[in-house]
Structure 1
C-alpha cells in the first residue's frame, strides 16, 4: 500500500503537470504562427528552439498524467491557430516575447520543483528549468547582438556598508520628500515596465483580430491598463532622475485576420494577467518605500478585477477548462 501511495501524483504535482499541458499547447500554437511569419534567421533559430522545448514539455507532461491514469486536458490544438494568417508582430517583438516566456518558465517550474516528490516529476521540472535557462540565454545573446537588449538603469552606488537606522527610510504613502530608490526597487520597476510593454503590444494586436466584439473590447481594455501601469512605473524612475528604458521596435501591423481562436486569445490574456499579479506581489514585498508598495497593491487590485472579468467571459463561452479537483463527497452522498 505504501508503494502505491509513493507512486501516485500529489495535488501539487497534478497541478503543475496539468497546467504544463495547457500552457505548452498554447505556446506551440503561438510559436508555429510566429515561425510562419519570421524574416530574420537568428530570430527563427530561437523560435524553433522554443518550439522544440514546448513540444517536448507537452509530450512529457502527457505521459506523466497518463501514467497516473489522469485525464489529459483538451487545451489547444491546430484548430486554435491559423499559421497562414498575415504577420501581426515584428521580429523584435518575437524576441521580447521569448525572453518573457523564458522568465515565466524559470519562475513557474522553479516554484513547482520545491513541492514535487515524484522522481519523474522532479526530473521533468529540473529539465524544464534548464531548457528555460538555455532559451533565456540564447534570446539574450540575439537581443544583445542586434542592440535590442533593454538594460536596467546604471546607478552610482556607494561602496560603503550601511544599515537603516531611521523609520523615515520607509517614507510615506504620498510621494513627498521620499528617499531615492534603492537598486532592489529599481530592478522590480524595470522588470514590470518591460513585461507590461510586451503584454501591451501582444494584447493590442489581439484586440484588432479577435472575432468576438466582447473579446476585442476586453483586449483593448487590457492594453489601456498596461499602458497606464507602464506610465506609473516609468514615473517612479524619472522622478528619481533615472531613465525609463523600454523595449522598442515592437510593431503591430494593420492585419485584422486572426491567427488564433478567441478561446486561445482569452486564455493568453489570462496568463499575462496572472504573471503580472505574481510580479507585483513579489515587487511589493521587496519594496521598502511605502508609496511604492502601495502603488503595487493598487495596481494589483485593478489587475485582479480585470482577470475576474476575463474569467467570467471565458466561463460564459465555455472556454475555461476545469482543473482537477477534489470529489464532491457531500453531493455523492446525497445522490
Structure 2
C-alpha cells in the first residue's frame, strides 16, 4: 500500500479503518465456523471468498492504523470462535447471510469513501467496494442456481408518466380505513428488503439464543428474535394490504445444537451490528417513503430497535465487552485538573 508521509488520518478516516478492523476480525471468526460446517461445494466456495475478503480487509486496516501510530483494537480472535462446534445453521442460511453481509459492506464502504482524502484509505475503500460487489454477485449467482433468490414482487405499472397533483398522495398518519393510495415501487423495494433482513435476523437470533452461555445474553437474543418476528409481520401487512405477495427466504433452518460456536462477547457484538444495520435501513426507507403512515411506522420501529440497542449496550458495558472507539481528549476535564 502507498503511504503518504507526514499526513495524518482524519477523524472520519480513523473511524472507518478502526471499525473495519473490528468488523473484519469478527467476520473472520464467523466465516471460519461456517466453513467448518458447510456441505454444498458451491456455497463453500462463496464462503471461502468471503473469508479471503475479510482477511484482506483486516490486514489493510491493520497496516493503515499502524502507519498512523494508532493503537490496534482488540477486536476478535480465535478465542472467540470454536469452528469444531456442531452445526447450528443450514447451508441455505449461509447464502442469505452472505447476501446481507455484502449489501452492508457496499453501503458502509461507499459512504466512507466519500469522506476520505488519504490516498491509502481511498485505495482500501475502493478495493473493499469492489470485493463486496464481487461477493454479492457470487452469492446472488449461487442463490439463483439453487432457486433460493428472493425476488421482490412483480407489479403492473402505468404506461405513461404522471405527476403528484394531490396532497392525498401522501396519505395520513394512520391507515385505519385502508384508504391510502397503493404502494409505489420505491416503497415496495424497501419493505421487501426489510422483510428479508428481519427474516434472516430472526433465524440468526433464534440460533444464538439457544447456544449463548449467559442467561442474560440468551434472553437478549430471544428478545431480538421476537422483535424481528413482529417487524416481519408489520412489513408483510403493508404488502398484503395492497394484495402483494410477501416474498420470504426459506430453508433458514436452525438445528437443535446447544453448543456455542461463539463467545458471548462475539454474540453481543453480532447483535449490535444487526441493530445498526436495521436502524440505517429504516432511516433510508423512511426518507424514501412518501406515504406518511409508512414513514411513521419506520420511525416507531426505529424507536423500538434503539431501546433494544441501549439494553444491549448495558450488557456489554457490564461485562467489559464494549470496546471504546478512539476519541478526542476531554479538554474541559483537563482544564479543571
TM over 0.5, yes or no? yes
Confirm or deny that 1:186 pairs with 2:188.
yes
State the alpha-carbon separation in 2 of the partners of residues 104 and 68 from structure 1.
Answer: 26
**Secondary structure of residue in 2 paired with 1:208:** helix
Q: Residues 112 and 84 from structure 1, CA distance in 2 versus in 1: closer, same or farther, beyond 3 angstroms?
A: same
Confirm or deny that 1:242 pairs with 2:248.
no
State the alpha-carbon separation in 2 of the partners of residues 157 and 66 from structure 1.
Answer: 54
Give the structure 2 partner of residue 78 of structure 1: 78
Any gaps of 5 or more consecutive residues in structure 1? none
State the alpha-carbon separation in 1 of the partners of residues 257 and 276 from structure 2.
Answer: 27
Question: How far is 1:170 from its partner?
Answer: 0.4
Question: How far is 1:328 from its partner?
Answer: 1.4
CA RMSD of aligned residues (A): 1.2
Task: Assess if the C-alpha contact under 8 Å between 1:277 and 1:300 holds in 2.
Answer: yes
State the alpha-carbon separation in 2 of the partners of residues 263 and 183 from structure 1.
Answer: 40
Give the structure 2 partner of residue 34 of structure 1: 34
Question: How far is 1:5 from its partner?
Answer: 9.4
Which digits, 9 at most, give the CA deviation of each residue in 1:262-313, with x for residues without a partner? Answer: 0000000000000000000000000000110010000000000000000011
TM-score, normalised to structure 2's length? Answer: 0.97
Give the structure 1 partner of residue 285 of structure 2: 283
Give the structure 2 partner of residue 115 of structure 1: 115
Give the structure 2 partner of residue 332 of structure 1: 334
Q: Residues 286 and 5 from structure 1, CA distance in 2 versus in 1: closer, same or farther, beyond 3 angstroms?
A: farther
Give the structure 1 partner of residue 52 of structure 2: 52
Structure 1 runs of 4+ with >6 Å offset: none
State the alpha-carbon separation in 1 of the partners of residues 317 and 5 from structure 2.
Answer: 35
The number of residue pairs the alignment matches comes to: 333
**Secondary structure of residue in 2 paired with 1:152:** coil
Task: Assess if the C-alpha contact under 8 Å between 1:6 and 1:118 holds in 2.
Answer: no
State the alpha-carbon separation in 2 of the partners of residues 239 and 253 from structure 1.
Answer: 34
Question: How far is 1:203 from its partner?
Answer: 1.1
State the alpha-carbon separation in 2 of the partners of residues 278 and 66 from structure 1.
Answer: 30
Any gaps of 5 or more consecutive residues in structure 2? none
State the alpha-carbon separation in 2 of the partners of residues 192 and 39 from structure 1.
Answer: 29
- Which of 269, 272, 293 aligns to 1:270? It is 272
State the alpha-carbon separation in 2 of the partners of residues 170 and 186 from structure 1.
Answer: 15
